[in-house]
Structure formats: C-alpha cells, structure tokens
A = this chain, B = another copy of it.
C-alpha cells in the first residue's frame, strides 16, 4: 500500500486563494454561488433560464468551468450575461486561483451575483473551496434517488439542492426516483438545506428558487 501525502498542501494553497476570493466578494457585497453536479444534470440550462427570468431584478455573471470546449459559456452569453470560460485542461474540478483569475475578466461592479458552474463531477469539486458564499448542488431525476447516500459530501455541504428534470419523473418511474426519499436522505445529512424540485425545461418549480436567490442577494446587500 502506498500513500502520497500532498492532500493537505494542495488544500492549503487553494484555501489561501479561496479566502482572498471570499474577501473580494465581501468587500463589494457581491454574492457568489458554486454550482456542483454530475455531468448532464442541467446546470447550464438552469443558469440560462435563471439569468433570463431575473433580468431587471438581479444582475448575474457566470464563471464557467469545463475540461474542454466553451460550449457552456456560449450558451450563457446567448442570454446577454457576462460569462468567463475556464478550461481546466483535463482537471476534474475548479481551483480558487482559477476563479481569482476569471474574476479579473468579469464586470463585477455591474453584478449582484456571480455563479461558478463547476466541472461536471459530484466528487472532487466538493473538496475545493472557491471563496463562494454557498454551494448549490443539482441532482437530475434520471440519476436515481440513491445518489445522496452514495455521494454524501456534496449534499452535506450545500445550502440548496435543486432536484432537476422533474418533467422526467413519470418516464423514470417512482421505483427509481422517489422525491420524498431523496428529501429525507438529504435532510438527514444536512438539516439546513433548502430543496427545490424543478424542471429547467418546463419552468415548473423555478419560482421558489428565484425567490430564494432574490432574497439571499437582498439580505447580503442590506
């Protein structure tokens, strides 16, 4: 059995940049949310819809993390919002220093809220703080309702869980995805989490998520 003891050192370097990012947001009274999920849970679709619907209420900018391509940043820019793409070049999560660099390219004075869309990965991004106020985890109905039990860390650390693609609930079937089971499992890991079942495609359930966002931003600004 071999062990390489570098975990602590990497985290500490990352934590320094995360603290600096946190100060950056706090000094300017800007909110930052770190969005984490498996690939294909619908993060970008949720963001694009949220930006469009909240236009005129809160101004949103996005830092997009991807291993390759700028497909997601293009989808965000199509809404008219500012988006900065980070390509991790194979790495499985965003780091705080990458976010610090990206912040230099966002028109921060005009924004109320910065979303960081992390690399699609339910595991590694949960360990690396980026300086965000809170984490938002997205779980798609099609992934199955056993995911909080199997990947507990991110559910334990998040402030909000968006259960997305509820338009697929009938097609997936209640045996494979029982919303009440998910709620119970997640609240068992984290009693302070807000859970919103939504469909980014049909818009169902998104009003509660928008209310949560607007209230959180206003609370931070006053």
Residues of A within 8 A of B (CB): 1-2, 4, 6, 9-10, 13, 38-40, 66-69, 71-72, 90, 92, 97, 119-124, 127, 140, 142-144, 146-147, 149-153, 165, 167-168, 170-172
Q: In the complex the two chains form, what is the Cα distance from A111 to B61 in whole Å?
A: 54
A122 near B168: Cβ-Cβ < 8 Å? no
**Minimum CB–CB distance for A67 against chain B, Å:** 6
Determine the chain B residues whose CB is within 8 A of the CB of A4 once the complex forms: 6, 9-10, 13
Measured between alpha carbons, how far is A9 from B147 in the docked complex, in Å?
Answer: 32
Q: Which residue of chain B has the shortest Cβ distance to A173 in the bound complex?
A: B201
Which interface residue of A13, A143, A165 has the most chain B CB atoms within 10 A?
Answer: A143
From residue A175, how far is it (CB to closest CB) to chain B in Å? 10
Complex contact B71–A140 (CB within 8 A): no
B120 and A2 contacting across the interface, CB-CB below 8 Å: no
B92 A123 Cβ-Cβ under 8 A? yes
Residues of B within 8 A of A119 (CB): 123
Q: Residue of B at shortest CB range from A40?
A: B143
- Using A167-B171, A168-B142, A172-B168 as known contacts, say yes or no to A2 and B97 having CB atoms under 8 A apart: yes
A40-B142, A168-B168 known, 18 other contacts, Cβ within 8 Å:
A4-B9, A6-B6, A38-B122, A39-B147, A40-B144, A67-B150, A67-B151, A68-B151, A69-B150, A71-B149, A71-B150, A120-B150, A121-B121, A121-B123, A123-B124, A140-B143, A142-B142, A168-B172
A146-B69 Cα distance, complex, nearest whole Å: 10
* CB contact between A151 and one of B97, B120, B122, B172 (< 8 Å): that residue: B120
Q: Which 7 A-B pairs have the closest CB atoms?
A: A40-B143, A142-B142, A171-B171, A92-B123, A38-B38, A38-B39, A40-B144
**Least Cβ–Cβ distance between A156 and chain B, in angstroms:** 11
Q: List 8 A-B contacts (CB under 8 A).
A: A4-B13, A38-B40, A67-B123, A68-B152, A69-B149, A90-B123, A92-B121, A120-B123
Given contacts A4-B9, A92-B124, contact A40 B152 (CB under 8 A): no
Q: Smallest CB–CB gap between A120 and chain B, Å?
A: 7
